[in-house]
Structure formats: structure tokens, C-alpha cells
A and B are shown apart, each in its own frame.
Chain A
Amino acid sequence: AQTVTQSQPEMSVQEAETVTLSCTYDTSESDYYLFWYKQPPSRQMILVIRQEAYKQQNATENRFSVNFQKAAKSFSLKISDSQLGDAAMYFCAYRTMYSGGGADGLTFGKGTHLIIQP
């Protein structure tokens, strides 16, 4: 079974600075998706960024970028120019690219609580 580990239960950063959230995963598969989701106090789960494992280029979405290291099974999220609205729980998630048979779906880490200090 796949596992996702987020080793930082909580992170704090000053507004306008850069922060990196860590995520490692364990899988024996070669084709899969990796995701970062943001969950603010409203509890709405928001997709921040997605990475396909077969793509070597790191995904970026405006101020959000990832560092995907397939061999190391590492998938960190970098948030540049942090804003107060970035404060939330951040979840790293894994999903096999091929579904059917067995307990697939998204496998989530425990989350990192990101605090933005003004």
C-alpha cells in the first residue's frame, strides 16, 4: 500500500517570504499523480497543484511550485511571496494512474498547518 508522509505538522512564515513544505511517499509503481491540496478553515479542499510522475518538469501555478524528485520519492511545495490568504492546512496526496481493483483513490498525508505572520 502506498503511504504519504508529511514530516512538518506546523510551519510558520513571515508574510512576503518563501516557505517550503515537505512530502515523501512510498510506492512501487512508476506511473502516478501527486497533488498538493489546501484546506482553509472553511474546510473546502482546494487543489493547489498537480504533478504527473512521467513528467520531469516541475509543475508551477503562479506563486506555487513543486520540487519533484522521483528517485527520492520526494514532492515538496514551495510558496513564494507568502500572503495572509495562504494560511491553511496543506495536504500532500498520491494516486495511482491506473484505477480498478483494490483500494485506490487519493492517499493523503497528515497535513501541515501553515501559519502566515503579518
Chain B
Amino acid sequence: KAGVTQTPRYLIKTRGQQVTLSCSPISGHRSVSWYQQTPGQGLQFLFEYFSETQRNKGNFPGRFSGRQFSNSRSEMNVSTLELGDSALYLCASSLRGGWLFGPGTRLTVL
């Protein structure tokens, strides 16, 4: 069974631009969650989706948004990028409580 996939793997943007990251969960997994990893703040929860509904949201500004499609694929969007948004963005999917991660998208904001 294929693992969690994330695209793109690397992204370079400039301040003020917006970006969309994609996550395809493991087949059969309906829960998807997103995390931001930075050297200073560590791993922080962004949001979680189940059956196209946002179930939980972390403490991030409204510039960060996401959605989930009927096939469980998920996207997250960051508008008006700031330098501090440079990070590794990780997506994870779960079937029964065991959260498995994708390889991440490395976002660099210049």
C-alpha cells in the first residue's frame, strides 16, 4: 500500500505570494492532519480534516487554511506569505489512531 504523498517536495516563494500544498493520504484513510515544523517552534499542529470537514484547528492566523476533498486528498493554503512561514510542512493520515506521515514539503520564503 502506498504511503502518504505530498507535493511539491520543495517550494521557493517570495513574501506576499500565496502557496498551495497537496497531500494524498494512504488509501482508506479518511483523517488528514497538517503540521508545521521549524527549528525554533518545533512541530505545531495546523488543522485536521475528516470526511471533508475541518475537525480541529491549531493556533495559526487566518492566512493558513485548508480543505479536504471527497477522495480524502487534502490541500493547505497560505496566503500573503511571510518570512516566518519558511518551514517543513508535514501531512499525516490515520485510519484508527495511528498517524502516518508523508515526506513533507519544504517551503522557503524569500
Q: Is the CB of B35 within 8 A of A106?
A: yes
Q: Smallest Cβ distance from A25 to chain B, in angstroms?
A: 15
Q: Is A95 in the interface zone, CB < 8 Å from B?
A: yes
Q: Is the CB of A91 within 8 A of B43?
A: yes
Q: Is the CB of A35 within 8 A of B48?
A: no
Q: Is the CB of A33 within 8 A of B56?
A: no
Inter-chain contacts of B57 with A (CB < 8 A):
103
21 contacts across the A-B interface (CB closer than 8 A): A35-B99, A37-B101, A44-B101, A45-B90, A45-B101, A47-B98, A47-B99, A47-B101, A50-B98, A91-B43, A95-B97, A99-B48, A99-B55, A99-B56, A103-B57, A104-B55, A105-B35, A105-B47, A106-B99, A108-B43, A111-B42
Give the total of B residues in contact with A, Cβ under 8 Å.
Answer: 25
Q: Is A100 in the interface zone, CB < 8 Å from B?
A: yes
* Given A43-B104, A44-B104, A103-B45 contact (CB < 8 Å): yes
Q: Is the CB of B103 within 8 A of A43?
A: yes
Q: Is B33 in the interface zone, CB < 8 Å from A?
A: yes
Q: Is A78 in the interface zone, CB < 8 Å from B?
A: no
Q: Is B78 in the interface zone, CB < 8 Å from A?
A: no
Q: Smallest Cβ distance from B105 to chain A, in angstroms?
A: 10
Q: Is B70 in the interface zone, CB < 8 Å from A?
A: no
Inter-chain contacts of B59 with A (CB < 8 A):
103
Q: Residues on A close to B: CB < 8 A?
A: 33, 35, 37, 42-47, 50, 52, 91, 95, 97, 99-108, 110-111
Inter-chain contacts of A110 with B (CB < 8 A):
42
Q: List the 7 shortest-distance A-B pairs measured between CB atoms, nearest first.
A: A105-B45, A45-B101, A108-B43, A104-B56, A103-B58, A44-B103, A105-B33
